Amino acid sequence: MSKKDSLQVDNQRLAEAWARTLPTVLNASDRAEVKADEAEANVIRIHIATAGRSNYSFDFKCTYVDSREVQVELIDVEREGTAVDERTDVIQTLVDDYVRHIHECAQQLHAFTHS
């Protein structure tokens, strides 16, 4: 008997909790914006802008599979507003790093999402 537990938190409140928590797990110089997805209640959109000369920005779709587990998908990478090749080692390293930080943030929010 396995009961799938679904996310029971309003996604606007969820996005606000993420907006407060995500900066605590990112590099201090990175900027993050978190928005509730208007089409899917279990999805938040994350935009991360790197600091420094690289001027990269990353867009992620973060889907709650259940109240604890998130699936993170890279949507787009840009540099100064222009799409860049996501397959380079530099970009892949940054993406892996940000995905790890996003999972870390989700773990910190377990008490909030798993109620």
Q: How far apart are CA 113 and CA 101, in angstroms?
A: 17
Query: Tell me, what's the pLDDT at 4?
Result: 60
Q: Tell me the pLDDT tens digit for each residue of 63-96.
A: 999 888 999 999 999 998 899 999 999 999 999 9
Domain boundaries, the chain: 11-113
Query: Tell me, what's the pLDDT at 19?
Result: 97
Query: Tell me, what's the pLDDT at 9?
Result: 82
Q: Tell me the pLDDT tens digit for each residue of 35-73.
A: 999 999 999 999 999 977 788 999 999 999 988 899 999
CA 32, 102, 41, 115 torsion-angle sign: negative
